[in-house]
């Protein structure tokens, strides 16, 4: 489906302002001014600021899960570890491409609200399923029970840390090229961790880590 450029401009403006000022600190007028559109146009497209938020987040997660599913399908013939590495790259690439909205959503997910519960029931459960299944297949029985769950928790933490603690990384992200550099370096860091617990670390080191 072809995107409406004006509608997308409003979403981009809102994402930037929500990231900088928070949802409650941003007015519809602020969004209209930044997007260079009339306030009435926002009402026409989204009904309200809440409607704009819901649309933006829903679109974000639907595109995100579609991207993840395509990556899993594309890598179906790879080894479990190679498939996991590609999944990690896909996730970080998508989140970094949508950096400001990702940071805003992660901040909101730290709060207990109707918004968070709706996201958990719909999109986050599906995301968790894909990550969990791919990670456990890559582990291939190297860890059991609680240890395996703790390792999964560590992986999921690595996937969201740059977007929860985004202020710690802001000096590294200046311009579009720096986003791509960050993706490559950060994905490599996660892959090095995976190599240690699954792949290239010595067997004695891995066994000590995961027993």
Residues 87, 130 contacting (CB under 8 angstroms): yes
What digits encode the pLDDT tens for the residues 60-110? 999 999 999 999 999 999 999 999 999 999 999 999 999 989 998 888 877
Domains and CATH numbers, the chain: 1-47 (1.10.10.60), 57-210 (1.10.357)
- Closest residue by Cα to residue 84 from 144, 139, 129, 128: 139
With 80 as the cut, is the pLDDT of residue 146 above it?
A: yes
- Closest residue by Cα to residue 33 from 60, 5, 59, 9: 9
> Would you list the DSSP string of 93-118?
HHHHHTHHHHHHHHHHHTS-SHHHHH
Report the C-alpha gap between 48 and 66 in whole angstroms. 27
Q: Model pTM?
A: 0.86
Report the C-alpha gap between 84 and 78 in whole angstroms. 9
């Amino acid at each position: 489906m072809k995107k409406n450029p004006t509608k997308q401009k409003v979403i981009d403006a809102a994402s930037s302002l929500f990231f900088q000022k928070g949802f409650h600190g941003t007015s519809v007028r602020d969004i209209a001014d930044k997007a260079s559109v009339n306030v009435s146009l926002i009402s026409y497209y989204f009904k309200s600021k809440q409607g704009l938020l819901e649309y933006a987040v829903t679109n974000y997660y639907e595109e995100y899960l579609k991207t993840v599913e395509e990556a899993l399908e594309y890598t179906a013939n790879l080894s479990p570890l190679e498939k996991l590495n590609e999944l990690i790259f896909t996730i970080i690439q998508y989140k970094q491409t949508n950096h400001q909205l990702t940071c805003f959503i992660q901040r909101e997910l730290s709060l207990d609200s109707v918004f968070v519960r709706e996201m958990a029931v719909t999109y986050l459960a599906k995301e968790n399923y894909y990550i969990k299944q791919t990670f456990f297949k890559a582990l291939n029985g190297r860890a059991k029970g609680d240890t395996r769950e703790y390792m999964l928790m560590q992986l999921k933490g690595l996937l969201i840390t740059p977007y929860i603690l985004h202020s710690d990384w802001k000096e590294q992200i200046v311009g579009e090229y720096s986003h791509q550099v960050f993706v490559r370096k950060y994905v490599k860091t996660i892959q090095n961790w995976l190599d240690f617990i699954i792949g290239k670390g010595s067997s004695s080191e891995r066994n000590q880590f995961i027993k």
